[in-house]
């Protein structure tokens, strides 16, 4: 066996049966890497940690067969990530985010941008990741905030979602609105999160 814990070696009477055993289904070989038991070879057979009976009608060799596996770590600041786990060496894995948009609170959300680390792609399911070593897939997000433009008169322009840290401009399509003959509403300034007295643009 390539890992510790094999037992069953010894002398047996001709015509009797013997069984080989190993102690572990898996065995850590390095951080993020392990050996996984596959079954028995040589003169032994069977899929379990204890081999099928081996007829001792001659010298026999029991080989514990192990394959290498690597761990995929999937991390995400938001949403529900999946795909993490152990994969056979040389196989392909994929990391997945359940939703590309996550509501954080009223007027705040996280928007998925793509994958980094050992993963690539901009879809919620990453491109194939070849598991030839331990791998890490990290989901990239941007936080966004909603700008709402409220006015009793005129049409607000510039409202919508903006990345955190960017600058938005709130505007009105006019500085005054005729209400009726001899009466009009005149823009006087911005309040709330906006400042200034220009209806054509305020940050």
Residue 203's pLDDT is 55
Instruction: Quote the pLDDT of residue 147.
Output: 94
| 22 in Cβ contact with 37 (< 8 Å) | yes
Signed CA dihedral, 144, 147, 148, 154: sign only: negative
The pLDDT score that the predictor gives to residue 180 is 83
What lies within 8 Å, CB to CB, of 201 at 6+ separation is 169, 170, 171
- Residue 183's SS3 state is strand
pLDDT of residue 202: 62
pLDDT tens for each residue of 16-45:
999 999 999 999 999 999 999 999 999 999
Residues in the chain: 203
Q: Which residues of the chain have pLDDT under 70?
A: 201-203
Q: Are 15 and 60 in contact (CB under 8 A)?
A: no
| pLDDT of amino acid 196 | 86
Torsion angle of the four alpha carbons 60, 64, 67, 69, in this order, in degrees rounded to the nearest 10: -170
Cβ neighbours of residue 166 under 8 Å, at least 6 residues apart?
A: none
């Amino acid at each position: 066996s390539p890992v510790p814990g094999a037992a069953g070696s010894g002398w047996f009477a001709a015509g009797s049966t013997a069984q080989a055993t190993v102690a572990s289904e898996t065995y850590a070989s390095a951080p993020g890497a392990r050996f996984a038991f596959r079954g028995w070879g040589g003169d032994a057979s069977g899929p379990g940690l204890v081999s099928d009976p081996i007829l001792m009608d001659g010298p026999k060799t029991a080989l514990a067969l192990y394959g290498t596996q690597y761990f995929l770590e999937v991390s995400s600041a938001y949403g529900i990530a999946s795909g993490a786990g152990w994969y056979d060496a040389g196989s392909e894995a994929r990391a997945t985010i359940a939703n590309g948009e996550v509501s954080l609170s009223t007027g705040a959300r996280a928007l998925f941008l793509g994958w980094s680390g050992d993963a690539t792609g901009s879809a919620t399911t990453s491109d194939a990741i070849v598991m030839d070593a331990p791998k890490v897939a990290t989901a990239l997000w941007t936080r966004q905030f909603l700008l709402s433009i409220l006015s009793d008169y005129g049409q607000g322009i510039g409202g919508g979602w903006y990345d955190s840290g960017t600058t938005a401009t709130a505007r009105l399509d006019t500085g005054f609105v005729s209400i009726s003959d001899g009466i009009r509403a005149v823009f006087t300034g911005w309040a709330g999160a906006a400042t200034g007295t220009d209806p054509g643009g305020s940050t």
